[in-house]
Structures are given as C-alpha cells and as structure tokens.
Amino acid sequence: MNARSPATLVADTGRGNEAAILNAALDAFGTAGFHGASMRDVAKRAGTSLSNLYNYVPSKSRLLAEVLRRANDELAARLRAAVDDAGDDAVSRLREAVRAYIRFIVEHQVAMVVSTNEVRYLTGADRASLVAERDATQAVFEGIVAQGVAEGAFRTPYPDDAARTVLTALGAVAGWYRPDGRLSRGQLAEQQARYALALLEAPLPH
C-alpha cells in the first residue's frame, strides 16, 4: 500500500542498532500508525529481537517521542539554515523556507507524515516539548510574515493565522507527494511558494 522507500531519517549513531531501530519505528508508525504498529513490527523491521529493543528505548511511547524529536530537529535546523542563508527581505526568506520545507518532505516523507499524524499520541513531557519545538518552527514563519507585513510586502489582514495556514498546506504535501509524480521537486517548491505568497497577499508578480 505504501511504496515509499524505507525511511532513513536517522544515520548510524555509532551505537549498535540504534539507527536501525529508530528508522524501523518510523516506518512502522508510518505504515500502521502508532497504535496499529507493534513493538514486534518494529523489531522485525529493525532486524533484531523484540526484547533487544528495550536495550535502546525504554518504552513504545518514548520510541515515538524520540523519532518525532529527531524529525522535528532536522526540519527545524534546515529551516533555520535556509532562512539565515536567504536575502534580507521577507519574500526571499519565505521562498527559501518553503524550499527547505519541501526538500525535507521529499527526503523524509514518512517522517513528515508520522510527525503530522502521530503527535497526538504523545503524552506528558514528551508532548509538551515537541509542541514547544513546533511552536518555535511556527514562530519562524510568523516572524517572516510579520516582517513582510511591516515591509508592505504582504498585505494579509490576518498575519499569524495565515502563517499557520501556510504551514498546514506545506505539511499536507507529505500526504500526497510521490517521487514519480507530475512535478519535479523544484516545481513543487515553486508552486507551493506561489501559493504561500498569494495567500499572504503579496502583490504580483511573484
């Protein structure tokens, strides 16, 4: 049902099977959802035994938390780097942020899907810290939008909500993107950037 290649969000950590386990968990959660995937599934995908999982991870929910944390860290780092490397104006910054976001999705689609769908099953501190990280990511976009509004580049009357909506639309791309789809990665980024700028009511031409 899911033809995407096995996820490799986590590169070898030098700690035995750890990377394999985290990537296996990502795949398992991506395929069946958090509650639909079992620790046995994860073990099988990771090529190790069920009980050995617990040498690396204390529980299923912490496994989800760890996977989501890494995905979010990676996305956040890419976004920050993209924005830093961009020009000083809001339009450039937004454009680069969108590009980076799309690149992340293309390279780590499963991670993005799991991030979107399974956060709700985190609890307590794990949930809180992930939500905080996400808010930070969202703040980056809100910052860009605020700057654009100040500069007169964006005319949306609802800057913060619009920033969130842009983020939502971007995230949703992970739900339908296919590597062999109609649009190349570049075209996809271009399209999404245009949607974002339009939604923010940046005067044409983009």
Identify the H or E element spanning 44: helix 39-46
From DNA, its own copies, none, interface partner of 200 (C-beta below 5 to 8 A by class): its own copies
Q: Which is nearer to its own copies, 39 or 121 (CB)?
A: 121
Q: Which CB, 36 or 87, lies closer to its own copies?
A: 36
Q: Judged by CB, which is closer to DNA: 49, or 168?
A: 49
- Site residues (vs its own copies, CB under 8 A): 1, 32-36, 117, 120-121, 155-158, 161-162, 164-165, 168-169, 172, 175-176, 191, 194-195, 198-201, 204
CB atoms within 10 A of CB 159: 19
Shortest Cβ 165–its own copies spacing (Å): 5
Name which of 38 and 187 has its Cβ closer to DNA. 38
- Specify the amino acid at residue 50: L
AA letter at 109: Q
The token pair that represents 28 in the structure block: 């398992």
C-alpha 38/C-alpha 198 separation (Å) is: 43
Question: What is the C-alpha to C-alpha distance for residues 150 and 17, in angstroms, rounded to an integer?
Answer: 50
Q: How far apart are CA 158 and CA 71, in angstroms?
A: 29
Partner whose footprint covers residue 15, from DNA, its own copies, none (CB < 5 to 8 Å by kind) = DNA
Residue 17 binding: pick among DNA, its own copies, none (C-beta 5-8 Å cut-off by kind): DNA
